[in-house]
């Protein structure tokens, strides 16, 4: 099994350092990215901002991610 990474971007925190990188759970299939969004508590624009912050963290850090 390949190493899995989990990126967590808390709401209301706009700094790149606030995106937490940790070991992730094994997905049902390989080469899969899962995004969990609480749609009752978050609008589309805020969800896209958090996804963009995770993207920026992936871009800034070494690859593969180190947790």
Q: pLDDT tens across 5-21, in order?
A: 888 888 877 788 888 88
- Domain span at residue 32 reads 5-60
Return the pLDDT at 55. Answer: 94
- pLDDT digit string, tens, across residues 24-64: 777 656 777 778 888 888 889 988 998 999 999 999 999 88
Helix and strand numbers, DSSP H then E, in the chain: 1, 2
Return the pLDDT at 27. Answer: 66
Q: How far apart are CA 14 and CA 63, in angstroms?
A: 22
Asked whether residue 48 is assigned to any structural domain, the reply reads yes
Asked whether residue 66 is assigned to any structural domain, the reply reads no
Return the pLDDT at 67. Answer: 61
Asked whether residue 67 is assigned to any structural domain, the reply reads no
Statement: residue 1 has pLDDT above 70:
no
Asked whether residue 12 is assigned to any structural domain, the reply reads yes
The token duo for 16 is 């790149």
C-alpha pair distances (Å), 66 with each of 8, 34, 42: 14, 19, 29
Number of folded domains that form the chain? 1
Asked whether residue 34 is assigned to any structural domain, the reply reads yes
HSE-CB of 60 using CA atoms within 13 angstroms: 12
In the three-class reduction of DSSP (H, G, I as helix; E, B as strand; rest coil), residue 3 is classed as coil
């Amino acid at each position: 099994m390949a190493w899995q990474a989990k990126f967590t971007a808390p709401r209301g925190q706009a700094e790149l350092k606030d995106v937490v990188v940790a070991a992730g759970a094994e997905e049902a299939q390989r080469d899969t990215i899962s995004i969990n969004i609480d749609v009752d508590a978050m609008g589309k624009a805020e969800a896209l901002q958090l996804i963009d912050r995770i993207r920026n963290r992936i871009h800034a850090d070494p690859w593969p991610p180190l947790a």
